[in-house]
Chain A
Amino acid sequence: MHVLDVSTLFEPELLDRLPINYRYMTRLETSTFGEHFIGQRFSTSTAHYSRDFITQGLYKPVSDWVYPDFLPPPLAPLPDDAPDI
């Protein structure tokens, strides 16, 4: 994500009537701003009833069809006095 600066879209007269957050908008290069920044590609899928199907890019270079089968169940909580990570 490429941050250009912190600025605003709005004129000073309007800003005076808006919540203050609109004064500090982060301006980004649009092509670098993805939903939670996971690589995506787009296609359509009748099976998913979707006209714009998002495919997640694999984070690790291993087969998606293999490693989910070896995942353990969610980790049990540690006691309160467990060492910090």
Chain B
Amino acid sequence: MILVLSQQKFEPGTDPVLNWLLYNRIPFVKVTLQDLVDQRVSYTVDVDNQDVFINGRSVRNDVEVIWHRRFIIDLHRVSRQIEGGSHPQLRSELELEIRELLHCLSAIFRDKTWLTPFDRIGVSKLTMLQQARAHGLAVPRSKVLTARADVAHFLADTPTGLISKPLSDGRSYYLHEGDTYVVFTNLITAGSLNELPERFFPSLFQERVPARYELRVFYLDGNCYTTAILNSTADKNVDRKLDSTASSTHYVPYRLPDSVNWAVDAFMRASGLNTGSLDFIRSDTGAYVFLEVNPVGQYMAESEKTNYKLDRVIATWLQNQTAHACS
């Protein structure tokens, strides 16, 4: 059986794969963080014997493959629902309790086949840059800075200019019945430099890489499914997400050079990742510049537009792993 760990709501990368599992009659069960804590199902974690019982039945041997998609991402929402705003300290304590439970469960199921190992779900953007460089991929020069003078120095030293983006994942503020505020990648200019305070919270700055086009690589167990994102306008945004729906943006299947494919494979294996979505820029000079990898990135937009059918590819991979487990 396949155990699917994912979000309860609005996870567009999970349901299309489950469609294929249903169509092919492959047994699976989807579990969310909410399921573990909301008392709808009683279960026992037998720490002494390293087993999990649901309604008195051991499930440890039933599970062969674990698809670990966006699961922990619900942690804050789940703890906030329980805590209900009654005490801010309580929320952080509940989150610690849930994390401890998850670590215990991951240890019990450690010998299963994981699609994204439990401890590789939240990789560090900066560590991944180092890792990518070590495996032969070009990466932009990057610095974490805290002073305006240092930004000015870095800008002066970088002819193509600078961009800034969050050190960790992107972030959005959805205001009820209002506007949405999103932190995208921003271009740092001499003008914006003057708006910065003398000292500020540690922030990531990177060399701007002038792009011919951007690439999105979906990696699964040694295979790269690459999409080129072409934009025919001269005034495209520095963050391609802002141009996603523009009529001038086109998504086409793309073949990476062998050398880049091999470097991606070596990098992903060294990073302990068997799947992920990687962003590259094909630069003005022809270099393939690695930007970042998201182990649980979204892939359906590119998949639909290039006919890669990645939902089916993932479902087939999961199905094949259960076959291996049975043999």
Contact = CB atoms under 8 A, between A and B. Distances in A.
A85 B309 CA distance: 22
Given A1-B244, A26-B242, A19 B182 contact: no
B173 A9 contact: yes
Interface in A1-47: 1, 3-4, 6-9, 16-30, 33, 35-38, 40, 42, 45, 47
B268 to A, nearest CB: 15
Interface size class on chain A is: 35 or more
B180 A28 contact: yes
Interface string A53-85: 111101100000001100100111111101011
B22 A47 contact: yes
B47 interface: no
Interface stretch (B58-66, B90-98, B104-112, B164-172): B164-172
B12 to A, nearest CB: 5
B257 A77 contact: yes
Contacts, number: 154
B242 A38 contact: no
A56 B9 contact: no
Interface string B1-42: 000100011111011101100100000011110000000000
B119 interface: no
Contact of A37 (B9, B165, B172, B244): B244
Contacts of A38: 12, 300-301, 304
A16 B199 CA distance: 8
A67 B307 contact: yes
B233 interface: no
Contacts of A16: 197, 200
Interface string B189-231: 0001001110011110000000000000000000111001000
Most chain B CB neighbours (cut-off 10 Å) among A17, A20, A30: A20
Interface in B246-265: 252-259, 261
Nearest to B9: A52
B180 A30 contact: yes
18 contacts: A16-B197, A17-B200, A20-B200, A24-B192, A25-B181, A27-B181, A28-B180, A30-B174, A36-B12, A45-B15, A47-B22, A48-B15, A52-B10, A54-B11, A55-B15, A56-B16, A56-B304, A82-B257
Interface of B: 4, 8-12, 14-16, 18-19, 22, 29-32, 164-167, 172-175, 177-184, 186, 192, 195-197, 200-203, 223-225, 228, 242, 244-245, 252-259, 261, 286, 298, 300-301, 304-305, 307-309, 312
Interface of A: 1, 3-4, 6-9, 16-30, 33, 35-38, 40, 42, 45, 47-56, 58-59, 67-68, 71, 74-80, 82, 84-85
- Leading 3 A-B pairs by shortest Cβ distance: A49-B30, A36-B301, A52-B9
